[in-house]
Each structure stands twice: as structure tokens, then as C-alpha cells.
């Protein structure tokens, strides 16, 4: 099993980002952070869609004959 397939622990990057204080960041830094997070969300959604297409193709291939 690939390490990317394993469940994340509480110490994963998303949890660390959520716990990080934003108080010291400027407006520009906050906009930049939002932009990078939106890119990561888009990348994650794309990966989910690809995985879903792969799963559906496998289900069609391996479904029992009617």
C-alpha cells in the first residue's frame, strides 16, 4: 500500500495549518496564503475526481455478468 493511501494522523499538515496563528500576517500575506490553499483544494479535488473515475472503471470491468 502506498503511503499516500494511509490515513493521516492528527499531526498532518492540514491540522497544523488550521492551528497556526494568522495574527502576524499582513493582508498581502493572507491573500497569498488563500491563493495557495485554493490551488491545493483544486489539486485535491482533481485527484478525487481521477480516483472516482478509476474506481467506476474498475467496477464496470469487474462487475459480475448479468
pTM: 0.70
Helix H, strand E, coil C: the string for 7-58 is: CCCCCCHHHHHHHCCCCCCCHHHHHHHHHHHHHHHHHHHHHHHHHHHHHHHH
Predicted local confidence at residue 3, as pLDDT: 59
Predicted local confidence at residue 34, as pLDDT: 97
Please give the residue that has the higher pLDDT: either 1 or 37.
37
Q: What burial letters (b/e) apply to 5-33, b meaning 16+ CB within 10 Å?
A: eeeeeeeeeeeeeeeeeeeeeeeeeeeee
pLDDT tens string 22-55:
999 999 999 999 999 999 999 999 999 999 999 9
The C-alpha atoms of residue 33 and residue 19 are separated, in whole angstroms, by 14
DSSP class of residue 61?
H
Res. 1: pLDDT tops 50: no
The pLDDT confidence band at residue 6, using thresholds 50, 70 and 90, is low
Amino acid at each position: 500500500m502506498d503511503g499516500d493511501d494511509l490515513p493521516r494522523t492528527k499531526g498532518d499538515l492540514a491540522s497544523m495549518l488550521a492551528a497556526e496563528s494568522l495574527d502576524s500576517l499582513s493582508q498581502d500575506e493572507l491573500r497569498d496564503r488563500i491563493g495557495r490553499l485554493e490551488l491545493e483544494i483544486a489539486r485535491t479535488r482533481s485527484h478525487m475526481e481521477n480516483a472516482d473515475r478509476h474506481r467506476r472503471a474498475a467496477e464496470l470491468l469487474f462487475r459480475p455478468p448479468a
